[in-house]
Structure 1
Amino acid sequence: MMGSRGATLGWTVVRVVFGLTLALLHGLPKVTGGMGRFAEGVAALGFPYPTFFAWCAALAELLGGLLLALGLFTRPAAAFATFTMVVALYRHRADPFARMELALLYFSVLFAAMLIGAGPYSLDSKVRHRA
């Protein structure tokens, strides 16, 4: 995957930090009490069954972020969270760049994780080498 120890360690830090911040600062608040307001926002985007899709997005952020940080089921977790960020970018499409910047950053890292995988410092790597 990665050529140098520095690149491997650097990717691990990015993966863990982005995963934990996505889970703890975005997914967890929605799941533990912010779902009503979030579902209203999902409804305003025109989604059918807005509560269902709000829960899907919140769990993609919470569980996807935790799995990304652990490096477990990294590619599928990143794929679900990447899709959530695509919707967030759509939601902020007419906003100033500073408003959409966070969704763009999360999208970029999640998309990279989907393509690259977790790397050698991950639970995915440990599981793969045990089999």
Structure 2
Amino acid sequence: MSTPVDRNRLIVPEVAPLYSAGHQSVETILRVVAGLLLVTHGYGKIMNPFGAVGMVESLGFYPGVFWSPLLAATEFFGGILVAIGLFTRPASLAAAIVLLVTVYSHSIVKAEGLGGAEKSILWTTIFIFFAIRGGNSHSVDARLKKVF
């Protein structure tokens, strides 16, 4: 599926076909890469789901034995769901919430300010985008013809 581009508004009109054809594909690549990176970030946690108990409790999330496995599952399984585009919106929302906590952790708890939180802010924004936008036509959600 392509999105038409108004050639008259482009500085270089010859690139209009590239822009039109690439819209869905580029969005899909961003979703897949973001999901897979979340999976790799959660892999260590899923292998030891209680390994982050102290970390989550240091951020004020008690009991850590509840929050640590939830964090692991959100990152690992949520990343898989985002990557394949299944339950894209709820999985992305869960990832965005986790990442908002990392923004808080880096900027406030660790007192690193914007410099320490900038990657988390960027990742949060990406997952908020997919929480609102969904998985597009290149997703399992679209194949199921369901909007979650």
| TM-score band, normalised by shorter chain | 0.7 to 0.9
2:37 — aligned with what?
21
CA deviations on 1:90-128 (whole Å, 9 max, x unpaired) are 111121544323212221110000010000011100000
CA deviations on 1:59-113 (whole Å, 9 max, x unpaired) are 1111111000000000011111111111111111121544323212221110000
Distance in 1 (CA, whole Å) between partners of 2:115 and 2:71 is 22
Q: CA deviation at 1:52?
A: 0.9
Unmatched 5+ stretches in structure 2: 4-19
Letter in 1 for 2:48: G
Could you list the runs of 4 or more consecutive aligned residues of structure 1 that deviate by over 4 angstroms after TM superposition?
none
Distance in 2 (CA, whole Å) between partners of 1:35 and 1:19 is 22
Contact 1:57–1:81, Cα closer than 8 Å, also in 2: no
1:103 — aligned with what?
120
- Bigger mean CA offset, 3-12 vs 63-72: 3-12
Q: CA deviation at 1:34?
A: 6.8
The answer to whether structure 1 residue 39 and structure 2 residue 39 are counterparts is no
Q: Name the larger-Rg structure.
A: 2
Contact 2:49–2:72, Cα closer than 8 Å, also in 1: no
1:91 — aligned with what?
105
Which protein is richer in helix relative to its size?
A: 1
Seen in structure 2, the aligned counterparts of structure 1 residues 64 and 34 have a Cα distance that, compared at 3 Å, is: closer
* TM-score normalised per structure 1: 0.88
The count of aligned residue pairs is 127
Contact 2:49–2:69, Cα closer than 8 Å, also in 1: no
Contact 1:16–1:68, Cα closer than 8 Å, also in 2: yes
The structure showing larger relative contact order (alpha-carbon pairs under 8 Å, at least 6 residues apart) is: 1
What CA RMSD, in Å, does the superposition of the two structures yield over aligned residues?
Answer: 1.9
Seen in structure 2, the aligned counterparts of structure 1 residues 104 and 57 have a Cα distance that, compared at 3 Å, is: same
Identical residues among aligned pairs (%): 33
